[in-house]
Structure 1
Amino acid sequence: MADTAPLDERSDRDLLAQHCAGDPDAFGELFRRHKDRMWAVALRTCRDPELAADAVQDGFISAFRRADSFRGDSQVTTWLHRIVVNACLDRIRRIKPTSELPEYDLADRHDHHGSVDVRLDVQEALARIPEGQRMALTLVDMHGMSVAEAAEVLDVAEGTIKSRCARGRSALAELLRDKHGEGYPLPG
Structure 2
Amino acid sequence: MSNEIIHVWNDMNGRLTNFVNTKVKDPELSKDIVQDVFLKVFTKFDTLKNKEKLVSWIYQITRNEIISHFRKIKFNSTSKEVEAEEFSEEILTSELIHCINPLINSLPEKYKQAIVLADLENVSQKEIANQLNISYSGVKSRVQRGREMLKSAYEECCVISADVYGDVIDYKVKNCSKTCD
User: TM range, normalised to the smaller chain?
Assistant: 0.3 to 0.5
Richer in strand (by share): 2
**TM-score w.r.t. length of structure 2:** 0.43
